[in-house]
Amino acid sequence: MTFRSLSPRLAVMALCLGLAGAPVMASAQAFVEFPGRSLYERFGVDAVDLFDLRGQLSRSTLIDVRPRLEYDILHIEGAHHVPLSAPDFEDQVRALEAEHGGPLVFYCNGRTSYMSYRAAARANSAGLGPTQAYDAGVKDWAERYPGLAMLRGERIEDPESQLIDDAVFEARLLDADTFARRVRNDDGAVVIDVRGNEERDEISLFAGREISAPLQDITRLNRVLGQARRDGVPLLIFDQNGQQVRWLQYHLEEGGIDDYRFLEGGLQRFYDEVMTR
């Protein structure tokens, strides 16, 4: 039976039920795609989606809170850079607000990366704002609005040829079991933890084999990568949620490093799949 074949009364009832259910379905979908939204709502953090941000872009102060390496590789055109790890984060944001006004819109890699929410929450606590968190992430933005995204300082003209293809990135991923097995069995491999200090804990998951080389410490990271390249050894690299390594791949390829693998989903998925068994 189609909507058109219903009696007028039933048709109206069906329409009302459909409209009533739409927000619930949309809300449920948003919860799955953006699990941090409900968590940070209690801290007064408002989320802005991809299309709404495009509409308000010219009247917003956009702030990229990722490490500098990620920002330098790809960022939204016109975005300012204030890493969440900066000791004077609030002061830098306050200066931007004084110069450019608001709203302040923070972004990171989005979805399962909560840095944009945390940045907005910190700004709120400091009395700044209004604030918003764009939580779909820079990759979604670059794919939808490539002309408003900067890759290595240049506006993207042809995303298919300029951005690393998903299949190329995914070919470098190892699932949790395979990654752990490589760490155990390949004594020559260098295991690198690129998480920031704010994400690290005191637990060594890989028997102390991992070397800490945070993305925000470019000097140390390059020193570790350079030594591995000179020694001709493979790299096993992990981050927190599997998103930062996507931008690290550009850095590795540009540096002539070709023997590397990433932990799929980062340590967060590793915890979920291995540590909770």
Say yes or no to pLDDT of 10 above 70: no
Q: What is the pLDDT of residue 272?
A: 82
Q: What is the pLDDT of residue 26?
A: 44
Read off the pLDDT of each residue in 215-229 and give the average, rounded to a whole number.
96
Instruction: Specify the pTM.
Output: 0.85
- CATH architecture for the domain at 166-275: 3-Layer(aba) Sandwich (3.40)
> b vs e for 60-92, b when ≥16 Cβ sit within 10 Å of the residue's Cβ?
bbbbbbbbebbbbbbbbeebbbbbbbeeebbeb
Q: What is the pLDDT of residue 34?
A: 82
Read off the pLDDT of each residue in 200-220 and give the average, rounded to a whole number.
86
Please check whether the two domains, 36-162 and 166-275, share a CATH topology. yes
CATH of 36-162, one of 1.10.150.80, 3.40.250.10, 1.10.357.10, 2.60.40.790: 3.40.250.10
In the chain, where the domains are located: 3-33, 36-162, 166-275
Say yes or no to pLDDT of 84 above 90: yes
Are 242 and 263 in contact by the 8 Å Cβ rule? The answer is yes
